[in-house]
Every structure is written in structure tokens, then in C-alpha cells.
Amino acid sequence: MQGSPTDPSPSVRHRRARRTAGAVASAALLLPLLGAAPYDGGQEAAPSARLQKAFVDAAAAYDVPQSVLLGVSYLQSRWDAHGGAPSVTGGYGPMHLTDARTAIARSAMPHHSDGTEDARGDDSRAALLPDKEVPRNTQLPARFKTLAKAAELSGIPAERLRTDAAANVAGGAALLAAAQKQLGEPLGGDPADWYGAVARYSGADDTATAAAYADDVFDVIRRGQERTTDAGQRVALAAQPRLRPATAQVRSAGLRAPADGATECPATVSCEWIPAPYEEFGDGDYGNHDLGDRPASQSIKYIVVHDTEGAWDGVLNMVQDPTYVSWQYTLRSTDGHIAQHVKAKDVAWHAGNWYINAKSIGLEHEGFLTDPDTWYTEAMYRSSARLVKYLSKKYGIPLDRQHILGHDTVPGTTTATIPGMHTDPGPYWDWQHYFTLLGKPLRATAGPQGGLVTVAPRFATNKPLFTGCVTAGEPCETHGSSAVRLYTEPSEDAPLVKDIGLRPSGADSTTGVNDLGSRVSTGQQYAVAGRDGDWTAIWYLGQKAWFKNPAKQPTAVNASGAVVTPKEGLAEIPVYGRAYPEKEAYPEGVPVQSVSPLPYKLLAGQKYAVGDKVPGEYFYAPTFDTTPHRVVRGTDMYYEIQFGHRVAFVRAADVRVTPSA
């Protein structure tokens, strides 16, 4: 047992030859340790140091190096307790001890299976909607049942493990100690000798996934971390930059060899090939994606982040069903493991907007709880960020919110489709943390006269009221959020801004968790329309919208860039949900697609942040046979803009582009 709370001394084995069992985490995905001041091991601890003391006590009780215990907990939860609420995979507390049985009972069907939209988003062929429940695998793997094992090993009741952070840490320490014993390795001692136990803790059943997880944990230990948790606890892990773990231990961990397959993933993640079928199953019916030749035939401009609202096995069953939807990748919550289903060159059916589908890659993140206290593991955030950085570099996709889209920011294709568009990953996905992991932290890039703002509330303390998580109209549990609410005047007593696309009757927006009519999301940029004390106004859906933005606790930071506004002489211009070519661009045999404006208007004097300038483009793919497939590209140009909560498009001929300042 090491004497220091965080094992600061370098490993005596730092010169040991190392076999690469899984790629080491990218340095850009980790934050430096600033100035750690961990609990010093005394009997009394300040209220804000109690969690640090819990790590000290548990490490001593189970003879686990404190740095290992802290590193594993950071990778699972960033040391947050989440008020005793379970994660999307039924994990509890700082150690993410899993008890998924209750979570499964509360789980929703995967979000693509609700039957309200055609995920393909194109009328060149009939929509395929589900007519049966997606099959589920009810046999829970061991990674979903670690809380019961921790209770058995520690003697701590399961309820305490769920609700008491200190008990949860002790349960995690008991699991690590048991894994170390099973590997025949000594307790205590050098943290480097715990690589195999950490790999086992991941719950992964293959060596590549387990090793990738352990590499992440040890990279955290090498670099160090400190933060204040969601419960106000200060926790620190001192850096051990010379630590070299015994990576060869993973070979004796009793795990299977990784599945073979030509996946398109970075070396820094664990990835397997579980293909979505491309097959014909009836007269004119085929699924569940279209063969393409991207980026040679058309560029890939977007990555769409989804939340499955379904369990891993059920979601994989869905994507392997040839009769319905597909996406390129699924990410597992417990350990960040990735399954690829559709090659990037091909067009998956996931976004409900054919233009976006044809130019995007879809990522589904595992989750099967629907209440707001669900949370996502650090392992999944990091694996997803590595994948997105890899795809961004490979296809030239900018790392910003106009290209890294949530499914909830994909626009409807026509007025009729707007109310049915999806709202995942929702207000509880931590976009600030995600973009920090992407190496693009959301910071001020201009002064007060920059003309734009980037939405950037502090996730843990930003807790807007939402309703309808469990029962319609009933308040959701208070929770950190990436969302900021919009009002018609600089007052929380003012009405919320309206969305005539969602409610053509002009009815008011609501605080419903799925109502996107009156809120913005972290990372999105908008043109400033006014300021009034602690309030900032932006242009949003053709109207001035106000949000609270106090200097002492800002919800947005200043930025600058290009904006569009209607050309001189135009009182208003139309807004579109897709950038389709002009009718003259379509060759014989390809039906002309209508360029249908949405019900919104961009009015004279208003400004909106600009993304890409793109030509009108349409991918014609009506049949299983790829012979008639065509990419139609016109001369009419469009600008993508941040118009409301969702992105939109305007014709370049209708607008002028100016600096935001």
C-alpha cells in the first residue's frame, strides 16, 4: 500500500518493455492537472473533501492503490455521484456500479422504432416504418450486474451502494481487489501492476476493448486530474508521468480475442464490424441503407450525434434488420466500445432528412433510460470524441455545432415534417465537455462588440426547469443541462418564444423536455440582437429572443464571424430544410425535387451565423440496383445558418454576407 493519497512516486517499472495491448489515449482528450490539493489522510475532512477521504479509506481497506481507484472512477463518472440516479446503462455512483434490472424495466423502445418518421427522409421510395417491436436480448452480461457483485464482496447493502458515494467507492475498490486476486497479482504495491485488474473492471469481454479502457485509465493517472464534482466535492489525482503499466497482463485476463473486420476507426478505440444488411427483401423493397461512393461522389459535411434510448443488444438487433433504419456507428456506454455497421462511403438512414443523410455519418450512443437523471460515462464520451476527431480529419468536417449536429438540430425537410423530427440526444448531453474532448473547448473568441455569442453555460450548475420526463406536465428532476431557455422579453416572467413550425396555430412553447421551440444548446452560435443588463437577445426563428446571461455566471461567451442578412430591398426571404438543386439541374430520368420553403421567414435587419456555402445537391437512389443512382448538383448556392434550435439553409442569391462585428 502506497503512503501518499495519490501514489505520486514514479513507477519502479517505468523502463519495463511494453506491449501495446490497446492504443494510448490522445493527449488532446485530456486536461492538465492544475494544482492538486488532495486530502492528506487525516481523521477529519472538510465537507468538500469527504469524497477524497472516501477514496483514501477505500484504498486502505481493500489494499488498492489510490491512483488506480481514482483513475477508474474518473473514467467512469468524472467522480460525480449524480444524486444516486442511474446512468443510461444502470450504473450508480462515482464507480459506476451497474444494476441494470430496474433500468430495463423503465426502458423505452429505441428512438428510431417509434414509427412516427421515415428515418430515410426522402420520397423517392416508400417509407419503411416499424410494424413490430424490436427484439431484445434479456440475458444481461456481467458488465450490467457489477453492483450486486460489489455488495457480495464488500458486505455493503445494495441500496447504500446506489445512494452513498463513499459506500459506492468502497464497492468499486472491492471489485478491483477481487479482479487483482483472480489474476494472481499482489494487492497494494505498484499501480503499474494493476493494468489487468483495471482492464477486467471495464466489463469488456474482448482484449481490445478492455485494453483501450485500461489505457485510458492509466493515461488519466499519468496526467493527473482535479475537479469539483456535481455534489461540490473537490477531488484531485496527482500526475505520475513516468508510470508504465504492465500491459501484457491483459493477455491473462481470460478475455476473447477482438473480432476481425475492416472497420473505419482510429487506432485509439476498440471497434468491431457488425454490418447492417444491404439486401432486397421484396418487390422494390430493400434496406437498410444505400450504397454510395462518398466522398468521391459527394462530400461528407456532417456527423450526427444520436442517443439510442435503447439497450446495446436491442439496438444492434434493429440495425441488423434489413427492413428499416441504419447508422454508421453504435457506441457502448459501459466501456466506450464501438460497433460499425455501414461504411462511410455509403448512405445510412438515420436523420429523417435525406439531404443530411446523404452528407453525414450517424453515431448512436447507447442509452435506455428516459428520465433526465440519466448520464453518460466518461469512457463513452472519450471514445466518441476520438472517433469524431478521426472522421473530422479524414473527411474535412469542421469541429463546430453546425457540422457536429445533434439529431435534435437536424431540420425538417418540409413544413409537414417539422413536428415529427427527433429531439435526441436532448438537453442532458454535455456538449461543453464533448467539445473539450474534441480539442475545441468553447471559449470567448471576441470582445463584447464581436456581434455573435456562443452558448456555453456551465453544465453542472445550469439547471433549467423541464417537464414531461416521466409524466406529461410534471416537473423533471433537477439536473445539469446544455440547454438555455429563450423568452420574448428580458424577464423570466415573459412568455417563451414561439415556433410556428412546431405549432402552426401560434400556441405557446412549453418547458417540455422534447419541446425545442424556445431553447438553444451549448456550442451553437447566434447573432446578437440586443443587451439589457443580465440579458442578451439573439435572432432566432425570425424573431428577437432573450436569454439570461449574467456576467458572474454567463450562459454564453462573445464570438465573431460571418453572418447573413437579406439583400437590400428584400423585406423577407425564405428558409429551407435542405439545399436541393434548381429544377434545370436534373437530368432526364431523375424526378425534380421541389425546393420547399419552411414556414419561417428571415426578415430584413436580422442576422444569422453562417456555416458552409454549398451547392444545391440531391442524391437520387430509388432502387436496390445502383445503376440509376445519381448525384445531382446544381449551380444554385446555399448558406447553412444557425436559424433556431435546428440549422437551416438560405439561398445565397437572397442574402449578403457580412462580418458579425
**Lowest-confidence region among 111-115, 478-482, 533-537, 631-635:** 111-115
**pLDDT given for residue 7 in this prediction:** 40
Is the pLDDT assigned to residue 128 strictly greater than 70?
no
**pLDDT given for residue 103 in this prediction:** 54
**Residue 602 is part of which domain span?**
565-659
The whole-number average pLDDT for the span 450-458 is: 98
Is the pLDDT assigned to residue 440 strictly greater than 60?
yes
Cell numbers representing residue 278 in the block: 444491404
Boundary (domain end) residue, out of 516, 545, 560: 560
Residues 606 and 515 placed together within one structural domain of the fold: no
**pLDDT given for residue 137 in this prediction:** 46
**pLDDT given for residue 316 in this prediction:** 81
- pLDDT above 70: percentage of residues in the chain: 87
- Per-residue pLDDT band at 308 (split at 50, 70, 90): confident
Q: How far is CA 271 from CA 22, 28, 205, in A?
A: 11, 20, 13
**pLDDT given for residue 116 in this prediction:** 59
Greatest alpha-carbon pair distance for the chain in Å reads 82
In a domain, 488, yes or no: yes
Cell numbers representing residue 50 in the block: 469527504
**Lowest-confidence region among 42-46, 166-170, 604-608:** 42-46
pLDDT one-digit tens code per residue, 227-237 = 999 899 999 99
In a domain, 128, yes or no: no
Among 25-39, 148-162, 254-268, 470-484, top mean pLDDT goes to 148-162
The whole-number average pLDDT for the span 475-503 is: 95
The radius of gyration of the chain's CA atoms, rounded to the nearest angstrom, is: 25
Residues 610 and 552 placed together within one structural domain of the fold: no
| Beta-bridge partners for 639 | 613, 650
pLDDT one-digit tens code per residue, 35-70 = 334 445 555 779 999 999 999 999 999 999 999 999
In a domain, 293, yes or no: no
**pLDDT given for residue 550 in this prediction:** 97
In a domain, 423, yes or no: no
**Residue in the block written with cell 485488474:** 197
**pLDDT given for residue 117 in this prediction:** 62
Boundary (domain end) residue, out of 184, 219, 252: 252
Residues 37 and 173 placed together within one structural domain of the fold: yes
| Cβ atoms 442, 527 nearer than 8 A | no
**pLDDT given for residue 253 in this prediction:** 84
* Burial call 469-480: b when 16+ CB within 10 Å, e when fewer: beeeeeebeebb
Residues 592 and 503 placed together within one structural domain of the fold: no
The whole-number average pLDDT for the span 601-612 is: 97
Mean pLDDT of the chain: 88
Residues 157 and 62 placed together within one structural domain of the fold: yes
**pLDDT given for residue 18 in this prediction:** 31
The whole-number average pLDDT for the span 613-628 is: 95
Cell numbers representing residue 260 in the block: 476481425
CATH classification at residue 226: 1.10.530
Q: What is the pTM of this model?
A: 0.90
Q: How far is CA 373 from CA 103, 250, 367, 470, in A?
A: 12, 34, 12, 11
In a domain, 312, yes or no: no
| For residue 622, cis peptide bond before it (omega within 30 degrees of 0) | no
In a domain, 374, yes or no: no
**pLDDT given for residue 29 in this prediction:** 37
Query: Which of left, alpha, beta for 232 (phi over 0: left; psi -120 to 50: alpha)?
Result: left
Residues 550 and 651 placed together within one structural domain of the fold: no
**How do 329-331 and 234-237 pair as beta strands?**
unpaired
Residues 188, 190, 196, 200, CA torsion sign: positive
pLDDT one-digit tens code per residue, 456-472 = 999 989 999 999 887 88
Q: Which residue has the higher pLDDT, 141 or 436?
A: 436
**pLDDT given for residue 110 in this prediction:** 55
Could you tell me which of 446, 529, 535, 451 has the C-alpha nearest to residue 485? Answer: 535
Boundary (domain end) residue, out of 219, 236, 252: 252
Domain total of the chain: 3
**pLDDT given for residue 287 in this prediction:** 82
Q: Which residue has the higher pLDDT, 10 or 327?
A: 327
d(CA 522, CA 56): 36
**pLDDT given for residue 269 in this prediction:** 93
**Residue in the block written with cell 468499486:** 172
In a domain, 492, yes or no: yes
Residues 64 and 178 placed together within one structural domain of the fold: yes
The whole-number average pLDDT for the span 238-247 is: 97
pLDDT one-digit tens code per residue, 189-214 = 999 999 999 999 999 888 999 999 99
d(CA 92, CA 100): 10
pLDDT one-digit tens code per residue, 262-285 = 899 999 999 999 999 999 887 778
Residues 442 and 586 placed together within one structural domain of the fold: no
In a domain, 494, yes or no: yes
**Lowest-confidence region among 305-309, 525-529, 598-602, 617-621:** 305-309
Encode 351-420 in three state secondary structure: CCCHHHHHCEEEEEECECCCCCCCCCCHHHHHHHHHHHHHHHHHHCCCCCCCCEEEHHHCCCCCHHHHHH
**How do 404-406 and 329-331 pair as beta strands?**
unpaired
Could you tell me which of 422, 597, 599, 579 has the C-alpha nearest to residue 505? Answer: 599
**Lowest-confidence region among 88-102, 338-352, 382-396:** 88-102
User: How many residues does this entry show for the chain?
Assistant: 661
For residue 437, the SS3 value is helix
Residues 82 and 156 placed together within one structural domain of the fold: yes
Residues 461 and 531 placed together within one structural domain of the fold: yes
Is the pLDDT assigned to residue 86 strictly greater than 60?
yes
Residues 548 and 600 placed together within one structural domain of the fold: no
Residues 547 and 581 placed together within one structural domain of the fold: no
Query: Which of left, alpha, beta for 248 (phi over 0: left; psi -120 to 50: alpha)?
Result: alpha
User: Cα-Cα-Cα-Cα dihedral of 427, 432, 438, 443, to 10°?
Assistant: 140
